[in-house]
Chains A and B, each alone.
Chain A
Amino acid sequence: MSTPKKIVVVGNGMVGHHFVEQLHSLNSEAQPVEITVLSGENRLAYDRVHLSEYFAGKTADDLAMTSENIYRHWGINFHLGAKVTQIDSHKQTVTTVSGDIYSYDKLVLATGSYPFVPPIPGKDKEHCLVYRTIDDLDAISASAKVSKVGVVIGGGLLGLEAANALKQLGLETHVVEFASQLMAVQVDAGGGKLLKEKIEELGVHVHTSKATQEIQAGKERRYQLYFSDGDVLETDLILFSAGIRPYDTLARECALEVGERGGIVINNQCQTRDKNIYAIGECALWNNFIFGLVAPGYTMARVVANHIVLGDESDEYFTGADMSTKLKLMGVDVGSIGDAHGRTPGALTYTYENQPLGVYKKMVVSADKSRLLGAVLIGDTSDYDSLSQYMLNDIELPKSPESLILPSSGEKPRLGADALPASASICSCLNVTKGDIISAIDTGATNITSVKSCTKAASGCGGCANLLKNVVDSELAARGVEIKTDICEHFAYSRQALFDIIKVQGIKSFSDLLAEYGKGKGCEICKPTVGSILASVWNDYVLNPQHVALQDTNDTYLANMQKDGTYSVVPRIPGGEITADKLIVIGQVAKQFGLYTKITGGQRIDLFGARVDQLPLIWQQLIDAGLETGHAYGKSLRTVKSCVGSTWCRYGQQDSVTMAINLENRYKGLRAPHKIKFAVSGCTRECAEAQSKDIGVIATEKGWNLYVCGNGGMKPRHADLFATDLDSVTLVKYIDRILMFYIKTADRLQRTSVWLENMEGGLCYLKKVVIDDELLVADELEAQMARVVNTYQCEWKTTLENPESLKRFRQFVNSDKQDVNIQFVEERGQIRPAKLEEKRELA
């Protein structure tokens, strides 16, 4: 065994870590390497691309790309907080801040870059911050706690991301941009203008063409920004996001070549002028260009790892990279591809703008209109994948190229995944081509998950997920593998297909559907799904004999089963409003039956510990007092939460309680693929938390803003603003259409949040369907909803009137005894189920 080559890596950012990973996997007995990592930060590499998710609840651990254990396991020497201060290229050593010296055979600089802070007087004051590291984010959170207003200086991609963070932290947020538009690097003037409007709509103030001259003490807030045109802006916190500068001081000091505006000059093998020193990632300057994205950095990392192991036999070179980007900024879709500004000589452009919908698309093509050179997409990036493939693979454009960006009125020439060459890059972050995916499938991957795990595709920025799925689906289909959307072994149909069959064929029972379209007897998957569809379409009583065996147990007993086999009882309290009389009845019932009582998270009251045989007795009393079932058991409308609104609250813009009660009464009983929750707030203070609901309504001066597809629960999703300043009639019309479209097209047990996330075209498409009626289904959706609304019945009331149904509410068919296993103990003056050991003691 030869003596290991000593490799020292300076910097453990995303690219430095990727290099370590690559080199580790190439490491061989024959030419062993010894890797030393010197990380300037106090932690190992983390996912900077998704840094902002730190504000959405991710922890440093969630963002970590590796761990100390993994590095140890790989046999890597690493030192944290070990900033390198000096390179001695003759002795081949580096020195860290603490004076430690490490010698190297090959040195890899992966020092990345730092935020540029323009030399504005006052820039070093407290609460003047930057956005680059986890430590920066901690500092921002701390400062936001004692601030009300925040300003981001710089309206580029990162600046907007930072602005979103400030907004999430609850600050009044401003963006100040020196240029005349936002995101000037990626998008053109037209796109920039629309982007500005969209971002202002979200409540962020945008100030373009403003040069900040000085940061002074403020009058009302902590500071005052003083602009060259004499304007001022008061703020508490200032975040600089005015571009990045490569960390290249080390290189300068040891006389490596650096660019005019910084950056360590490298060749196609990523070597600097000193052949033993490489530079990769954001600190490197290639062909006079710094690549501020991870994907090119990853490519550089691979090139260097290969070069170190194979020497000049390596055939990997860095030859530039595509800078196309697709992202969501504050919920606005933005895409930029290639030559977005049309700077190529002779380039021609096509532009489509739809102001009411907030969509802007531009295509830049070659002089002979045969090739795509670039594109800008704002508000709707559904064409991004096909457009970028046209450009990257130099595919000839169709006859009228404009059809690629025009709204689909009829045939839209789609670039199918099968039309792509094997060399097409599918995931640029991880350098996965269509060929790599094909070979993964050839070697046994049979679905998207296994393709992902063999190729690592889509594990970087995630932007390629849709395209990846299309390629995998089309390859599997080409091999005759059926892509199964069947709901279970009894029905070879998706939920959506079953919905259409039931509706179009007028099928009214599970057995009819099974006889004609299914096989076997059905199971715990298809029965409730079909039960729910039948209820959405025909709205029959769910405990009709032909439906009763279909329901999940909670629906069968119209109550939620608890851990000990008892049930909870939840009467509907629309909008959370309740009279003293009804409260008293609920209290009396709870007392009479000895039930545990709790206020739920949905503004109503839950009574726990009812035995199955007590349910009808309890409900009889509740219904006699004018209460109704709350459908807490159903995949159906749960609650419409409200705030007191304009009736009482001094800030209220509209009567949110009346609206909430009306909505709850309209949609109660509506069966859906999953539960649905609403909320209505009386003003933007949002006391009802409408933006975390499937349907959220917030009052404005002029009417109502509608938010859709929010979610609390396991994977919270902030709702999207769907339409603004609606009158009550339009509001209800849109909600009718959205909910019915959801019921018609979602998968089983799919909340609206996931439904929207998976919808091709996303929010923009949903708007086209609901607002513009592009599919011409609006009337049908409304009629369907009207049918459900008009046939509402309180299921408990119907059940109590029906002796046959009541028979089910018996513990034993042959005895009036009770289940001896149900035992309670007392806690804080109420019952709770006895634990196993307590039961043993009681016995």
Chain B
Amino acid sequence: MSNSNQNWQPVCEVSDLVMDSGVCALVRDSNLQEQQIALFYMHCEMQKKQVYAVGNYDPIGKANVLYRGLVGCTDEQIFVASPLYKQRYLLSDGRCLDDDSIKLPVYDARINGNKIEVLL
């Protein structure tokens, strides 16, 4: 993660997010390639809020749809279920709970004032 080319990019505002659900942002990664990133805005303990960022491409359904999936949790771990074929992906590390061989790219994300920033 500590690639020197990386830096925090503002992608949108807090008001663009939907609580307990996802939206999608278009960003350029360190190679200046356009990437679709699914951002999930979640309540966590003590009234705190947190943003998770994972790739928006569903590697099984082969479409850019993950931000439209339903968010859930199992054993305290938060996941998004693909809206196409329902596979669940952990938001923390991108691991697919229904298929070991598959992993989504994950990005560090933070709330900075009213901005949402992603480390790219």
* A residues neighboring B (CB under 8 Å): 489-490, 520-525, 527-528, 545, 548-549, 551-554, 556-557, 561, 563-565, 612, 807-808, 810-815, 817, 819-822, 836
**Quick check: A557 and B26 within 8 Å, CB to CB?**
no
Chain B residues lying within 8 Å of A810, measured Cβ to Cβ, are 23-24
CA distance A551 to B70 in the complex (A): 8
Q: Report whether B63 and A821 are in contact in the complex, using a CB–CB cutoff of 8 Å.
A: yes
Docked complex Cα distance between A564 and B69 (Å): 14
Question: What would 15 A/B residue contacts be, using CB atoms closer than 8 Å?
Answer: A523-B74, A523-B81, A527-B72, A549-B21, A551-B70, A553-B69, A553-B70, A557-B68, A565-B65, A810-B24, A814-B16, A814-B25, A815-B25, A817-B26, A821-B63
Instruction: Give the distance in Å from the alpha carbon of A817 to the alpha carbon of B36 in the complex.
Output: 11
* Cα A524 to Cα B65 with chains together (Å): 16
**Does A563 contact B61, Cβ atoms closer than 8 Å?**
yes
Residues of B within 8 A of A814 (CB): 11-12, 16, 25-27
Contact A524 B68 (CB under 8 A): no
User: Is B102 close to A, CB under 8 A?
Assistant: no
Contacts of A521 in B (CB 8 A): 43, 71-73, 78
Roughly how many angstroms separate A528 CA and B71 CA in the complex, as a whole number? Answer: 11
Instruction: State in angstroms the CA–CA spacing of A525 and B74 once bound together.
Output: 11
Binding site for A on B (CB under 8 A): 11-12, 16-21, 23-27, 34, 36, 39, 43, 57, 61-65, 68-76, 78, 81, 83-84, 86, 88
List chain A residues, Cβ under 8 A from B26: 812, 814-815, 817
Q: How far is the CB of A811 from chain B (nearest CB, A)?
A: 6
The answer to whether B65 touches A561 (Cβ under 8 A) is yes
> Is there an interface contact between B72 and A522, defined as CB atoms closer than 8 Å?
yes
Given A521-B73, A807-B18, A814-B16, 13 additional A-B pairs, CB 8 A: A523-B81, A524-B70, A524-B88, A549-B18, A552-B70, A553-B83, A565-B64, A565-B65, A812-B36, A813-B16, A814-B27, A822-B64, A836-B62
Chain A residues closer than 8 Å to B69, beta-carbon distance: 553
B73 contacts A522, C-beta separation under 8 Å: yes
Option from B21, B24, B76 in Cβ contact (under 8 Å) with A520: B76
User: A812 to B21, Cβ gap below 8 A?
Assistant: no
On chain B, the residues within 8 Å of A561 by CB distance are 65, 68, 83-84
Say how far A66's CB is from chain B's closest CB, in angstroms.
35
Q: Using A552-B70, A565-B63, A814-B25 as known contacts, say yes or no to A545 and B88 having CB atoms under 8 A apart.
A: no
Point out the residues of chain B lying under 8 angstroms from A822, CB to CB.
Answer: 63-64
- Report B53 CB to chain A, min CB distance, Å: 12
Q: Are A549 and B65 in contact (CB under 8 A)?
A: no
**Which residues of chain A have C-beta atoms less than 8 A from B36's C-beta?**
812, 819
Most central of B26, B69, B78, B86 by chain A CB within 10 Å = B26
The A-B contact count (CB < 8 A) is 99
Q: Which residues of B contact A807 (CB under 8 A)?
A: 16, 18
| Complex CA distance for A525 and B79, rounded to whole angstroms | 13
The residue in chain A whose Cβ has the minimal distance to the Cβ of B78 is A521
Inter-chain contact B25/A813, CB cutoff 8 Å? yes
Q: Are A524 and B72 in contact (CB under 8 A)?
A: yes
What CA separation (Å) do A535 and B26 show in the bound complex? Answer: 34
* Chain B: minimal CB distance from A699 (Å): 42
Q: Pick the 3 closest A-B CB pairs, nearest first.
A: A523-B72, A553-B83, A565-B63
Please report the C-alpha to C-alpha distance between residue A602 and residue B54 in the assembled complex, in whole angstroms: 38
Whether B18 lies near A548 (C-beta < 8 A) is: yes
Contact of B24 among A527, A545, A564, A813 (CB under 8 A): A813
Chain B residue at minimal CB-CB distance from A556: B68
Minimum CB–CB distance for A565 against chain B, Å: 4
User: Closest CB of chain A to B63's CB: distance in Å?
Assistant: 4
Whole-angstrom CA separation of A553 from B73 in the bound complex: 17
A423 to B43, CA, bound (A): 57
Distance between Cα atoms of A520 and B72 in the complex (Å): 9
Cα–Cα distance between A545 and B34 once the two chains are bound (Å): 31
CB distance from A480 to the nearest CB of B (A): 24
* Bound: A490/B75 CA distance, A: 10
CB B41 to nearest CB in A, in angstroms, measures 10
Contact in complex: B19, A545 (CB < 8 Å): yes
In the docked arrangement, what's the CA distance between A820 and B69, Å?
Answer: 20
Chain B residues with Cβ under 8 A from A490's Cβ? 73
Chain A residues, CB < 8 A from B65 = 561, 565
Q: Which of B18, B72, B73 has the most CB of A within 10 A?
A: B72
Distance of B89 from chain A, by nearest CB (Å): 12
Most B CB contacts (10 A, CB to CB) among A565, A807, A817 go to A565
**Measured between alpha carbons, how far is A211 from B23 in the docked complex, in Å?**
77
In the complex the two chains form, what is the Cα distance from A59 to B94 in whole Å? Answer: 45
Of the candidates B18, B34, B61, B69, the one having the most CB atoms from chain A within 10 angstroms of its own CB is B18
Q: Which residues of the partner chain B approach A821 to less than 8 Å between Cβ atoms? A: 57, 63-64
Q: Tell me, rounded to whole Å, the shortest Cβ–Cβ distance linking B92 to chain A.
A: 14
Q: Tell me whether A528 and B70 are in contact (CB under 8 A).
A: yes
Shortest Cβ distance from A825 into chain B, in angstroms?
16
> Considering the chains assembled together, what is the distance between the CA atoms of A169 and B21 in angstroms?
52
Which residue of A548, A554, A612, A817 contacts B21 across the interface (Cβ within 8 Å)? A548
Residues of B within 8 A of A489 (CB): 74-75
Chain B residues positioned under 8 Å from A612 (CB to CB): 68
With both chains docked as a complex, state the minimum distance between the C-beta of A818 and any C-beta of chain B, in angstroms. 10
A residues within 8 A CB of B64? 565, 811, 819, 821-822
Q: Quick check: B86 and A524 within 8 Å, CB to CB?
A: yes
Partner of A812, one of B25, B57, B68, B84: B25
Residue of A nearest to B58 (CB): A565
Min CB gap A531→B, angstroms:
10
Minimum distance in angstroms from B51 CB to a CB of chain A: 12
**Bound complex: CA A808 to CA B16 (Å):** 9
Report which of B12, B20, B25 forms a contact with A549, defined as CB distance below 8 A.
B20
Q: Which residues of A contact B20 (CB under 8 A)?
A: 549
Residues from chain A with a CB closer than 8 A to the CB of B84 are 561, 563, 565
Q: A812-B24, A813-B12 are in contact. Are A523 and B73 (CB under 8 A)?
A: yes
Q: How far is the CB of A92 from chain B (nearest CB, A)?
A: 61
B25 — which chain A residues lie within 8 A by C-beta?
812-815
Q: Are A520 and B73 in contact (CB under 8 A)?
A: yes
Contacts of B73 on A, CB cut-off 8 Å?
490, 520-523
A625 to B95, CA, bound (A): 47
Query: Which of B18, B70, B71, B72 makes the CB contact (< 8 A) with A808?
Result: B18
> Which residues from B are CB-within-8-Å of A548?
18, 21
Least CB separation from B63: chain A residue: A565
Q: Which residues of A contact B19 (CB under 8 A)?
A: 545, 549
A640 to chain B, nearest CB (A): 28
| Chain B nearest Cβ from A806, distance in angstroms | 12
Given A552-B70, A553-B70, do A564 and B21 touch, yes or no (CB 8 Å)? no
**Closest CB in chain B relative to A364 CB, distance in Å:** 55
User: Within 8 Å CB of A817, what residues of B?
Assistant: 26
Set of chain B residues within 8 Å of A813, measured between Cβ atoms: 11-12, 16-17, 23-25, 39
Contacts of B63 in A (CB 8 A): 563-565, 821-822
Please, how many angstroms separate the alpha-carbon atoms of A612 and B34 in the complex? Answer: 20
Q: Determine whether the beta carbon of B16 is less than 8 Å from that of A553.
A: no
Contacts of B57 in A (CB 8 A): 821
Query: Given A523-B74, A821-B63, does the pair A553, B68 have CB atoms closer than 8 Å?
Result: yes
CB-CB under 8 A from B70, the residues of chain A are 524, 527-528, 549, 551-553
